[in-house]
């Protein structure tokens, strides 16, 4: 079994772009899809499916990971060299872009509740009921009911921690970052804004 016609790869790429923090940093850190299959016809179909997306297709056997890694190494090394040459010729990432990417990487807010339904075509091995996810499991947060206070522009802001989110000025928010954005008007790390983690410490 290999990548086949790459329909799954294209779907994974779309999910990353639309639903993950990684997808918001593709301009700074591009993502290359890699498809491997022993069947040349499958690789030809995959090439058509992935048209317009950054991708690399190899004829190989995914059941032989050591050989596959050896085949990939020179290709990826060439990609790194090409990236460096492009950076030297056209300019590397700006410091602002680097800081933005680091901010997105640190600001990985937890999911507050499990998905409402299982995606079509997906069967989970363990179907036993799971306990409801709680923000209190995050060691950076105080217990539910706690009021977070933050001086800001001459005011003292107060946000209440709850089991399923946060309340600020009577409005419920799913994450601290959402609260911080409502206050400042720009995206920022909620844990940093409310000083729950030290600046420069990864979450």
End-to-end Cα separation, the chain, in angstroms: 38
- Please report, rounded to a whole number, the percentage of residues in the chain having pLDDT higher than 70: 66
Q: Work out whether strand 165-168 and strand 171-173 pair parallel, antiparallel, or are unpaired.
A: antiparallel
Name every residue whose Cβ is closer than 8 Å to that of residue 71 and which is 6 or more positions away in sequence: 58, 60
Task: pLDDT band for 85, please (50, 70, 90 cuts).
Answer: low
| Whole-number pLDDT of residue 125 | 46
pLDDT at 95 over 80: no
Q: Which residues, including other chains, have CB under 8 Å from residue 202's CB and lie 6 or more apart?
A: 105, 106
In the prediction, which pLDDT does 134 show? 47
Average pLDDT of the chain? 75
Higher pLDDT, 46 or 112: 46
Instruction: Report d(CA 67, CA 61) in Å as an integer.
Output: 8
CB 172 within 8 A of CB 181: no
> Residue 36 pLDDT > 80, yes or no?
yes
Phi-psi region of 110 (alpha: psi -120 to 50; beta: other; left: phi over 0): beta
- Is pLDDT of 12 > 50? yes
Question: Mean pLDDT across the stretch 93-102?
Answer: 69
| Alpha carbons within 13 A on the beta-carbon side of 155 | 5
For residue 1, the model assigns a pLDDT of 59
91 vs 174, which has greater pLDDT? 174
Residue 157 DSSP class: E
Mean pLDDT lowest among 12-16, 58-62, 70-74, 146-150:
70-74
- Tens digits of residue pLDDT in 50-79: 998 888 888 888 788 777 777 776 766 665
**Could you tell me which residue, 162 or 71, shows the higher pLDDT?**
162
What's the confidence (pLDDT) of residue 201? 52
Q: Is the separation of the CB atoms in 68 and 62 below 8 Å?
A: yes
Q: Residue 13 has what pLDDT?
A: 87
Q: Give the residue, 10 or 120, on which the prediction is more confident.
A: 10
Across-strand partners of 151? 156
Q: Which residues does residue 34 pair with via DSSP β-bridges, in sequence order?
A: 56
Q: What residues contact 47, with CB distance under 8 A and at least 6 apart? A: 6, 57
């Amino acid at each position: 079994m290999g990548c086949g016609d790459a329909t799954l790869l294209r779907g994974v790429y779309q999910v990353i772009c639309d639903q993950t923090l990684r997808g918001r940093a593709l301009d700074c850190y591009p993502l290359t899809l890699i498809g491997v299959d022993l069947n040349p016809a499958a690789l030809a179909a995959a090439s058509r499916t992935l048209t317009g997306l950054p991708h690399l297709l190899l004829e190989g056997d995914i059941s032989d990971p050591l050989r596959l890694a050896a085949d990939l190494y020179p290709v990826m090394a060439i990609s790194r060299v090409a990236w460096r040459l492009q950076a030297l010729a056209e300019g590397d990432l700006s410091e602002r872009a680097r800081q933005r990417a680091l901010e997105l990487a640190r600001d990985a807010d937890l999911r507050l509740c499990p998905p409402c339904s299982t995606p079509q075509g997906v069967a989970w091995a363990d179907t036993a009921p799971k306990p409801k996810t709680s923000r209190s499991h995050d060691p950076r947060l105080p217990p539910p009911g706690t009021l977070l206070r933050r001086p800001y522009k001459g005011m003292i802001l107060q946000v209440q921690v709850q089991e399923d989110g946060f309340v600020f000025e009577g409005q419920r928010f799913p994450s601290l970052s959402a609260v911080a954005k409502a206050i400042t008007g720009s995206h920022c790390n909620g844990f940093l804004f409310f000083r729950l983690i030290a600046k420069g410490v990864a979450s």
